[in-house]
Amino acid sequence: MTGLQLTAVAGKGSGASAEDAGEEDRLLGAYDEEYSADLRRINVSVTGMTCAACSNSVESALMSLSGVVKASVALLQNKADVTFDPALVKDEDIKNAIEDAGFDAEILPEPSTSHSKPGGTVIGQFTIGGMTCAACVNSVEGILRNLPGVRKAVVALATSLGEVEYDPTAINKDDIVTAIEDAGFEASFVQSSEQDKLVLGVTGISSEMDAQMLEGNLCTFKGVRQFHYDRTSKELAIHFDPELLGSRALVDMIESSSYGKLKLHVKNPYTRMTSKDLEESSNMFRLFTASLFLSVPVIFMKVICPHIPLLYSLLLRRCGPFQMGDWLNWALVTVVQFVIGKRFYVAASRALRNGSTNMDVLVVLGTSASYFYSVCALLYGAMTGFWSPTYFEASAMLITFVLLGKYLESLAKGKTSDAIKKLVELAPATAILIIKDKGGKVTGEREIDALLIQPGDILKVIPGTKVPADGIVVNGSSYVDESMVTGESAPALKEVNSSVIGGTINLHGSLHVQVSKVGSDTVLSQIISLVETAQMSKAPIQKFADFIASIFVPVVVTLGFLTLLGWYFAGVLGGYPKEWLPENGNYFVFSLMFAISVVVIACPCALGLATPTAVMVATGVGANNGVLIKGGDALEKAQKVKYVIFDKTGTLTQGKATVTTAKVFSDMDRGEFLTLVASAESSSEHPLAKAILGYARHFHFFDVPSAIKDAQIQGLESKSSAWLLDVSDFSALPGEGVQCFIGGNKILVGNRKLMTENRVAIPNHVENFVVELEESAKTGVLVACNNDVIGVMGIADPLKREAAVVIEGLKKMGVTPVMVTGDNWRTAKAVAKEVGITDVRAEVMPSGKADVIRSFQKDGSVVAMIGDGINDSPALAAADVGMAIGAGTDIAIEAADYVLMRSNLEDVITAIDLSRKTFSRIRLNYIFASAYNIIAIPVAAGVFYPWLRIKLPPWVAGACMALSSITVVCSSLLLRRYRKPRLTTLLEITVE
């Protein structure tokens, strides 16, 4: 695919040790934790685990091996992480130990810290329908990981998505889909990371002859390896050689070979995925309405008809061995039980076949018990004349309520992925390609599919349209609305050499843009990938819920069985009077209804939904507010933040240093002084050097004849401008400045340390001037020529306008702000005082900010780091929560847990506040999920019946079970109403 594709989201940066970096955030990533050089660490795929007891068994089996130092088992990931001494235990011993414990095991490839995939593998994304709980996820993951050629597989219940890394030479996407479907689930391919595959929608085929013509033409194209045309969906999948054939050229060849009859368009994978979600919701709604339509007459005959003599007499009329009402109940409920409810039997058998129990098992147990008991009661009555009460309505209504819950859950899944859908909608569908001949002359324009854009293309962007891809403006000027990325409402001016982002809106003039990034490399695609990966992640708090859910089903089945035995033997032994029994009922029937109610009401589905639904909604809400969250783990840590460490330059300040003062302390002319300093700094990449060079250039332009100035402007004011002097023996000294020789003179530009090391004396009046600059939050740069100070330049980096208010807001939230900088101490203290930070720490190279962070972490405090530069990456990785300013470097963003896309410090407050709100909602979800069971299970088991005569019929128990899931989902969806805190409210400011 050349369009939006899956990209691995990098985890912690390499700037810190593995111990500091922790676990990578990539969905299919490996661990980076440090372990001893004489120990080995492997990952083992373990299938057959269904609950926490299973994972505990595997851990115990592994730890019992001599030589195993550490063993950790992840239930939902079906994986064991084992650290061991290879001199004492072998890989095969570990595999055998797991298999001896009753599970299947497979040694996975060695963990790697590399961010690249193993050679020859691709990552494919699949939608998986029919999953109802964590046991289903375990089943699918186990099936996928056992397929030949599959290296890794991760499945998410909340999004109904699976990502599979596989070797395309050993297995293809169709084989993966078939394996999932053979296990009883629904599956379809969404997209792949392969660059040599294309999925196209085809219009214009009206007959079999047209299809054969298409296939015949494809056979003649050089570079086409494989193709498949699906006549039902009218989709054409092509596997081609990208070295011989480009995707756009391929589309052009197909259309031209059909003489214009066929029209092709690239299938957007996210659009296909959205239609799949709608199809699932529609299908669930049809099943629910059909079940409701058939169940209402059953309830009507049971509850209403006995009060309508005419209708009741018709139902009591005998027709063969049974009454008319019995025939109707049997017929209607049979359709509900085995036609509409077929999916529950399929799912339950699948779970049992894989050695697990889930919600479907409970539903099948409860409904089957009611149905088959009722059938047996009818047959027994026909043979003996003793007619026991039937409970067909319990079976029908239970299935109806479960389908209602599933329908509402499917709607919730669609709503929680709204953030991704909105981001996808930002991408334009088409683009205008400027066509040039070999000489570079424009020969025309054509409209192409935006997913067929290639790097290097020149695109025309007319006013009012979206920029099709990331690139550089090569002609024209205009204002562009970039609010979707930066959050700034004011349009940004774009001129020649300005960069533009795909999906932003061109407002006024026409632009010619040369494409630099397409597909998964674009900013928009990377944002989508971050959000999608975060929504598939799992917060650590979910482990507790998984443990409870894993043991809940067997416990509940046991509890139901004990309820049946307890009530039955209590009745037989005279523990309660026969008057309690229903008419024509017996002790077994009376006990069975209690047991069925217990089994039905105790479904743990709501527990499994409590965390992932909240995390999904939170990541979507964060994206809409300019805060990209890399997963549930980041959310859980951020809500506990106690200290926030700020970098100064580019974080608290605007990062745009400007020269405010240039004072000469010698007989040198001001222009000569600036030329000398600019020449010395022209080879440096430091921000202060660029500020000095820009200031000197500006002075130079206004001090030369206009003809020369215009020529230099048109020459883009390059560093090799004629006004700069020749420099020799240049060297940049980190943390000090630069030194070089100009015209035989030794030039030093930097701080006091540089001067001291070169034995340059700083006169008192110069020192006093520098101190004044530093106390006014400016950086003083000393300039020396031949060991004599000849001048000082004062450089200021203005504070961000919101910095002081954000610092005060964090204090109100109970968070302590700290500033860490390698800048001059007086300047740092002045900046800190201006924004209201009382704790300022000096950055000591080489470990710098990371050491400061570790000092705060010693007492167990959770520390967040806010930074933007490459030098901040180790600190972002070392911090418990790294927050990268969106306008910062790619490396900083890669190392962070949060990305503040709008480069606005107010989003720090939003990130922490959203994390706290999310986990408050998760805790509330657990209360909702548990309340139904804690309150209703004793009632369903009949604990209060002897005193209050309260019973919970099975169909009412089904309603309560469905309502528990609905309540949790709706509770999570309330997070969509989240609004970022207003600083005026947070600071208790009254606006007149």
Decide the pairing of beta strands 458-461 and 442-449. unpaired
Give, for 794, the enclosing helix (H) or strand (E): strand 788-796
d(CA 241, CA 647): 48
CB atoms within 10 A of CB 24: 21
HSE, side-chain direction, 13 A CA sphere, residue 239: 11
Q: How deeply is 3 buried, as exposed, middle or buried, from its count of CB atoms within 10 A (0-12, 13-18, 19+)?
A: buried
Q: Which residues are catalytic?
A: 647
What value does the CA radius of gyration of the chain take, rounded to a whole number of Å?
35
Q: What is the DSSP letter of 822?
A: S
HSE, side-chain direction, 13 A CA sphere, residue 259: 2
Minimal CA–CA distance to 295: which of 244, 333, 248, 325?
333
d(CA 885, CA 898): 9
φ and ψ at 160, to 5 degrees?
A: 55, 40
d(CA 126, CA 489): 37
Q: How many residues does the chain have?
A: 992
Residue carrying the six token digits 């167990």: 860
- The SS3 call for residue 482 is coil
- The SS3 call for residue 184 is coil
Contact 697, 678 (CB under 8 A): yes
Q: Residue 716's beta-bridge partner residues?
A: none
Indicate the residue type of 619.
Answer: T
List Cβ neighbours of 836 (8 Å cut-off, separation of 6 or more). Answer: 804, 807, 808, 811, 817
d(CA 711, CA 968): 68
Cα distance between the two ends of the chain: 56
Contact 149, 166 (CB under 8 A): yes
d(CA 564, CA 568): 6
Across the beta sheet with 658-664, the strand order is 658-664, 788-796, 779-785, 745-750, 737-742, 728-733
Distance of CA 168 to the CA centre of its chain: 26
d(CA 730, CA 718): 19
